[in-house]
């Protein structure tokens, strides 16, 4: 799937702007700065396809990327703290939740969690929304390169416990580093298998 061309299709700021839901898509959700856009770049092997930044709140639209013939990868704005004016943040937060709860072609939502921090209250809230909306979701731990093996085990244990409460959660937890490439090939294969 990832051997073919990858292209930016469009950035969406309102539900009416979503492309037709005529093909399977997976999205990347998570707190601001968790590494959603970086992961899309690592997956596609394109350094600057999705814009990344140290400043939380970099991605402010729902960005659609086409991979292969007929698949979308969707980069979402982050939730939680963002360095942007409050009314703007509130607008994109509403859009994000409407998308997650109501997108017919969404096959799986990847919920990214910073391996250093584990699952926070706002992650729980989003997982509750996905669960209620019957959207299958899967946790991807990010920034593994910043965490010792012992601390990785601690976060994994916390996430396993949290996921046990959510029937819509896919039990396998992926450990990744966009920086070092850990878990990227596995995730590519997984996405290719989601039809
Ligand atoms: P928003 O769009 O603001 O919600 O953020 P985002 O989740 O898209 O995060 P982004 O990909 O922009 O990355 C945020 C910061 O984390 C950047 O400075 C990245 O370089 C850094 N980062 C992302 N992934 C990794 C990783 O695997 N390891 C390390 N060390 N840093 C990472
Ligand atoms: Mg981003």
Ligand 1 center from residue 54 Cα (angstroms): 7
**Domain extent listing, the chain:** 6-193
Q: Which tens digits make up the pLDDT trace of 154-169?
A: 999 999 999 999 999 9
> Given this model, what pLDDT does residue 84 score?
87
How far apart are the C-alpha atoms of 68 and 184, rounded to whole Å?
Answer: 17
What is the homologous superfamily of the domain 6-193 according to CATH? P-loop containing nucleotide triphosphate hydrolases (3.40.50.300)
Instruction: Looking at the chain, list the stretches that DSSP marks H as alpha helix, in order from N- to C-terminal side.
Output: 36-44, 86-102, 121-132, 149-163, 184-193
Nearest residue (by CA) to ligand 1, atom 15, is 54
Q: Is the dihedral of CA 119, 24, 46, 52 positive or negative?
A: negative
pLDDT surpasses 90 at 69: no
Block residue for tokens 């073919």: 4
Nearest-atom number in ligand 1 for the CA of 146 is 30
Ligand 1 center from residue 168 Cα (angstroms): 26
Q: Which tens digits make up the pLDDT trace of 76-115?
A: 999 988 888 899 889 999 999 999 999 999 999 999 999 9
**100 within 8 A of 126, measured Cβ to Cβ:** yes
> Given this model, what pLDDT does residue 173 score?
98
> Given this model, what pLDDT does residue 160 score?
97
pLDDT surpasses 90 at 70: no
Instruction: Looking at 6-85, list the stretches that DSSP marks H as alpha helix, in order from N- to C-terminal side.
Output: 36-44
pLDDT surpasses 90 at 33: yes
Find the ligand nearest to 82 CA. 1
Torsion of CA 14, 190, 164, 129, to 10 degrees: 10
pLDDT surpasses 90 at 117: yes
Q: Which residues contact 42 (CB under 8 A, 6 or more apart)?
A: 176, 178, 181, 184
pTM: 0.97
Probe residue for ligand 1, chosen from 31, 53, 111 as the CB with the greatest number of ligand atoms within 8 Å = 53
> Given this model, what pLDDT does residue 17 score?
97
Ligand 1 pocket, CB under 6 A: 30, 32-38, 52-54, 56-59, 77-78, 142-143, 145-146, 177-179
Nearest-atom number in ligand 1 for the CA of 176 is 27
**144 within 8 A of 175, measured Cβ to Cβ:** yes
The reply to whether ipTM tops 0.90 is yes
Pairing label, strands 25-30, 106-114: parallel
> Given this model, what pLDDT does residue 195 score?
76
> Given this model, what pLDDT does residue 142 score?
98
Block residue for tokens 């096959």: 107
Find the ligand nearest to 77 CA. 1
């Amino acid at each position: 799937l990832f051997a073919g061309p990858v292209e930016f299709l469009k950035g969406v700021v309102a539900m009416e702007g979503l492309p037709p839901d005529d093909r399977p898509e997976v999205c990347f959700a998570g707190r601001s700065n968790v590494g959603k856009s970086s992961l899309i770049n690592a997956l596609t092997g394109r350094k600057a396809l999705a814009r990344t930044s140290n400043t939380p709140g970099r991605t402010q639209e729902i960005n659609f990327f086409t991979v292969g013939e007929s698949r979308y990868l969707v980069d979402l704005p982050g939730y939680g703290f963002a360095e942007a004016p409050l009314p703007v943040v509130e607008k994109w937060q509403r859009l994000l939740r409407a998308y997650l709860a109501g997108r017919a072609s969404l096959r799986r939502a990847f919920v990214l969690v910073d391996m250093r921090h584990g699952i926070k209250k706002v992650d729980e809230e989003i997982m509750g929304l996905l669960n209620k909306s019957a959207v299958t979701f899967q946790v991807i731990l990010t920034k593994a390169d910043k965490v010792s093996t012992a601390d990785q085990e601690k976060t994994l244990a916390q996430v396993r416990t949290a996921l046990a409460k959510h029937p819509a959660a896919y039990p396998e937890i992926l450990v990744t580093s966009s920086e070092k490439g850990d878990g990227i090939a596995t995730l590519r294969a997984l996405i290719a298998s989601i039809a």
